[in-house]
Amino acid sequence: MIRAMSSINMYIIFKIILSSQNFMRKVLSAISYLSRDIEFIPYPHLLKSKRCHSHIGMAFTLFGFFILTMISSCKTNEAQSIVDASIAYHGSAALRSGKMEFVFREKSYTSTRSGGEFIYTRTFEDSTGLVEDVYTNTSFSRKINGQVIPIIDEQKLKFSNSINSVIYFASLPEGLNDKAVVKKYIGQDTIENKVYHCVEISFTQEGGGQDHDDVFYYWFDAEDKSLDYFAYLYHTDGGGIRFRKAINTRKIGEIYIQDYINYKPANDIEKSVELNQILDLYKASKLEVLSEIITEEFRFVK
């Protein structure tokens, strides 16, 4: 009988499996090393046979896949737990139903959602008059001075994405549990003397929209799970990386709303920066302030 191995010994075997250049030789070395954990193996001379080597190799390969699957599952579960806690902290689950209204850069936005259906609107004035955009699950339309105007598909997509982006960021962390979201726990970071959990967010192609290949890093306070920083890699309009720091957090009703300082890498390094490098650049004060994301006149009606 073989009694249970310690977690340290399991880790040793796992590392051997991943890094081995001579798989069977390494496996047998591991078995020899762990001999103190073995109470009894019938016919130990069989370990020298090629057939036994084959069975051992298959067993350890399956063991390796099992461990990898378990690690991946644990990372997903941990990421999910953190996101759920952050949504609860911010109170943003309430936004899944009811009507949200706010002003961003002199344009009025509304978001009305119920049972998976949504109606987003944007209203503003320009040289043509009063512009009213309406974006739903299935359509986009624009009125100017109360009259519906024809719009080509390319413009519909551009306007829809613009509205969706503004409402998405204003609603965070709500939206991080959408069906197309893929979560992965990255690890802990220290930012301005506080510990944060970093969660990577990517998207499936189905349901992920035109920007499904964008990737986000979100940093959640390890204590209260507030969303204080995030960064993202995008591909539209030439692509790039942005980093945002939450400011002016305030509670309106049951929902925390916050503004952001929007940073970018300096022009001379922007094209060479990877997403996983952006936090170090922020810590080293090597990011430039691009803009401020200010949400005004927020109101929510259930």
Residue 169, classified by CB atoms within 10 Å of its CB into exposed (0-12), middle (13-18) or buried (19+), is middle
- Find the Cα–Cα–Cα–Cα dihedral 211, 215, 219, 224, rounded to 10°: 50
In the chain, the number of structural domains is: 3
For residue 142, which of 105, 299, 103, 128 has the smallest C-alpha distance?
A: 128
Same domain flag for 81 and 99: no
Same domain flag for 86 and 114: no
| Residue where a domain terminates, one of 90, 123, 143 | 90
Distance CA 176, CA 217 (A): 11
| Residue where a domain terminates, one of 171, 193, 222 | 171
For residue 165, which of 225, 104, 206, 80 has the smallest C-alpha distance?
A: 104
Same domain flag for 197 and 269: yes
Same domain flag for 101 and 151: yes
Distance CA 222, CA 274 (A): 24
Q: Where are the alpha helices (DSSP H) in the chain?
A: 7-19, 23-33, 50-90, 153-171, 278-283
| Residue where a domain terminates, one of 70, 90, 110 | 90
Same domain flag for 180 and 292: yes
Whether 2 is in a domain gets the answer no
Whether 206 is in a domain gets the answer yes
Residue-wise DSSP of 40-65: --SSGGGGGSHHHHHHHHHHHHHHHH
Domain that holds residue 158: 95-171
Same domain flag for 190 and 250: yes
Whether 276 is in a domain gets the answer yes
Whether 1 is in a domain gets the answer no
Kindly report the pTM of this predicted structure: 0.74
Same domain flag for 287 and 210: yes
* pLDDT per residue rounded down to tens, the chain (302 residues): 333 433 334 443 344 344 444 444 544 454 444 444 444 444 455 445 555 555 445 544 444 444 444 444 455 799 999 999 999 999 999 999 999 999 999 999 999 999 889 999 999 999 999 999 999 999 999 999 999 999 999 999 999 999 999 999 999 999 999 999 999 999 999 999 999 999 999 999 877 666 778 999 999 999 999 999 999 999 887 789 999 999 999 999 999 999 999 999 998 898 899 999 999 999 999 999 999 999 999 999 98
